[in-house]
Amino acid sequence: MVPTVFIRIDSFPTTPNGKLDRRALPAPDLGTLSTGGRAPGTDTEKLLAGVFRDVLNLPDTTVLSVDDDFFRLGGHSLLATRVIARINADTGAGLSLRDVFDAPTIAGLGERIDRVTGDGSGVGSSVLRVGDVKRPDVVPASFGQQSLWLIDQLGGPKNQYVVPTVLHLTGDLDITALRQAVHDVVARHEALRTLLVDVDGQVTQQIIPAADAAARLRMDVEDFTDADRYTINTRADAFIRAGFDLATDIPIRAALMHTGIREWVLALAVHHHAVDEWSFPSLLG
């Protein structure tokens, strides 16, 4: 793979333990990569320019041309799947991932969308949406879920596939509202209340009712107001590293630690079978 942008720096920023501090690296200015061609003119082209900016995290002020290449602007295959999902949700065009690779520009994708919608508006209705599909009585696990389940059954990693989030909060915290917010997220997203269960030799997804999931996700408050930072970090680390029983535990845990006057630590642990790089910002970002 060839990097989209090269940035010269005097030295590499490091973390306290000597590793590369990726968060401290300068962010590349991808907006300067525009070809400077014709500005988006049709409704479809304007829609696509907005999708490119959103998916690539470009500033709203970034001026794109219809000849700008998605991959040249910093896109990759994972982000391309997000582009296709957005396009099909907004237009109903039914494009595939192949379309982004074959026609990676705003102009190229716009032509393909208009070919389906027929009127240049970028709006169609030919795509069957997820909510329109009748769910079968037995929902098989995805290939990724099957592999994680097999590793678990073979006695493999119990905590290496846990995606952690630790947030330091300050201020007057409404614990009841926070707990309800976490429950609302779990109720809204079925992936966060899905078990992987072996049914007659087939790994299946079993979705727990929202009320049952809320009862399992307690999020008790732990008092660490007299503890030092090492003790607090040790507790958070132990909470994150605790494994999941994929057949009985919903794939999310939450813990709230009261660490001082108007100071809190919220720890969330989610199993990888329920969240990935793409879905994480939508679920917990």
Per-residue pLDDT tens for 43-79? 999 999 999 999 988 888 888 899 999 998 888 888 9
Architecture of the domain made up of 22-117: Orthogonal Bundle (1.10)
Residue ranges per structural domain of the chain: 22-117, 139-284
Domain 139-284 bears CATH identifier 2.40.50.140: no
CB count, 10 Å around CB of 136? 8
pLDDT at site 285: 60
Contact between 240 and 159 (Cβ < 8 Å) = yes
- Cα gap 244→252, rounded to integer Å: 9
Contact between 183 and 118 (Cβ < 8 Å) = no
Q: How confident is the model over 142-177, as pLDDT tens digits?
A: 999 999 999 988 886 667 888 888 999 999 999 999
pLDDT at site 159: 75
pLDDT at site 34: 58
Contact between 50 and 90 (Cβ < 8 Å) = no
pLDDT at site 98: 94
Distances (CA, A) of 271 to 11, 30, 107, 178, 217: 36, 33, 40, 21, 14
What is the value of pTM for the model shown?
0.64
pLDDT at site 235: 93
Mean pLDDT by 10 residues, the chain (285 residues): 74 81 76 69 93 89 88 88 91 91 94 80 55 80 93 78 90 94 92 94 94 90 93 92 91 95 94 84 67
